[in-house]
Amino acid sequence: MKMVSKVSVVLTVGLIAEGIMTSGYNIHADSDSTSRINKENLTMPDADTLNLETVEAELIFMIDTAEDLRRAFQDQSFDLNEVFFLNINASLDLSQAIQERDMGFLNCQWRTQRPVDENGNITDVEYVLHMFTVEYRDDVKVLQAYRNRELIDRLTANEAAMLEKAESIISNLITHGMSDYDKVLAVHDYIVLNGRYSTQSDDPLIQESLHGTEGILLHGVGVCSSYSGTMCLLLGMVNVECIFVTGIGQNKNGLTGLHSWNKVMIDGMWYNFDVTWDDPTPDNPGVVSYAYFGITDEIFSADHIWNNDVYPAANGVYHNYYRYNGLFSHNYEHFRDIITQEIEMQDNNLEIQVSLYVENYDSSEYDLNFIFDLLTDIKSASHTRLRDSSGEYTILIKRTGN
């Protein structure tokens, strides 16, 4: 490493804040491939702006690539370090590298100290020291404290309450021998059944929590980031790899807006999950949708936009909810068979709900009159309209009870 010792320095400031870059937690990654140097061997210009005496870590990372940066940030997150120093290759576009990696921050700020010559011009150097100040998402902090109990004293009172609640949820939901699919299904359904989407609360304290994991986890109300954070936290606690994804969502009316969801790995394959959109709005107690449970990138991209360079490709098919449970219809004959089977299974119910995935639906060909041959006491029957030719299709039947 080359550094020119000069008395004069130039201090530059960087910021990546919530709304520009919010990212999720990845599982523990090995950082041995990232070269590091002892801070005692690092020469710096004399200045008060970046004081190496404030560095608690014994080592400072030497960062050459965006992947090195991700590994270094992740290493710091294991101890929830909120202030740390990284020695970064001067050619690396730091802002771009941070925005293109999943870091687990609400915001990230940095100060950079560069040496200048006697004319005030920045001196060319190979590496530049940066002091980072970061704020972790609450789900990241709680998950790290769950994995390392020594970090519990780093949590706020609300975050400690989140940890206690999450542990209680997991103890009630997860049993020995459950597959990863079963764990994901249990967590997905818990969030939908116990959460309610809202951007407003009459309680000022709850209002402050709507965008964090605390909203859904502790109060049962929140926005998409609260749903996604809760999914990351609960799945992380049961060793299922889950990533917090940010991007743009398009609703049924064609309106777009900032949105968040999850990518989840099941049996070595990645899938997309949008637990927010699987929760009916307005809230419908006891109703769970699976339209966005285990979706490929190809299907998911119909109404979600994200940076493909940041997140792993989701190409898994087998653990899609409807395929996995034999509720995926390829044609009208299959469509009839699935509905018939589901109605027969719910024969004792006064209200029957059948949900399935229909591929290449054609309303002119998909006649529903056959349900009146199966049930003679139908009071009313309705079905959802598909946004496109393929998607989740739900039939709701109410019976007279005669």
In 64-183, the DSSP E strands lie at 83-89, 105-115, 127-136
pTM of structure: 0.82
Taking a C-beta distance cutoff of 8 angstroms, is the pair 88, 9 a contact?
Answer: no
Question: Amino acid letter at 123?
Answer: T
Give the C-alpha separation, 319 to 270, whole Å.
Answer: 10
- The CB-side HSE value for 326 (13 A sphere, CA atoms) comes to 7
Q: What's the pLDDT tens digit per position in 139-196?
A: 999 999 999 999 999 999 999 999 999 999 999 999 999 999 999 999 999 999 999 9
pLDDT of the residue at 1: 27
Taking a C-beta distance cutoff of 8 angstroms, is the pair 346, 368 a contact?
Answer: no
Question: Amino acid letter at 40?
Answer: E
Q: What's the pLDDT tens digit per position in 337-382?
A: 999 999 999 999 999 999 999 998 988 899 999 999 999 999 999 9
Q: For residue 349, what are its two tokens?
A: 């119910």
Question: Highest mean pLDDT: which of 117-121, 249-253, 351-355?
Answer: 351-355
In 267-322, the DSSP E strands lie at 269-273, 293-295, 304-305
Residue whose pair of structure tokens reads 């900032």 in the numeric block = 258
Q: What's the pLDDT tens digit per position in 294-324?
A: 999 999 999 999 988 889 999 999 999 999 9
What percentage of the chain exceeds 70 in pLDDT? 84
Indicate the helix (H) or strand (E) that contains 196.
strand 196-197
Q: Which fold has domain 140-324?
A: C8orf32 fold (3.10.620)
Helix ranges, 157-237 (H): 157-173, 180-194, 204-209, 213-214, 224-237
Question: Highest mean pLDDT: which of 5-19, 38-52, 189-203, 240-254?
Answer: 189-203
Q: How confident is the model at residue 60 (pLDDT cuts 50, 70, 90)?
A: low
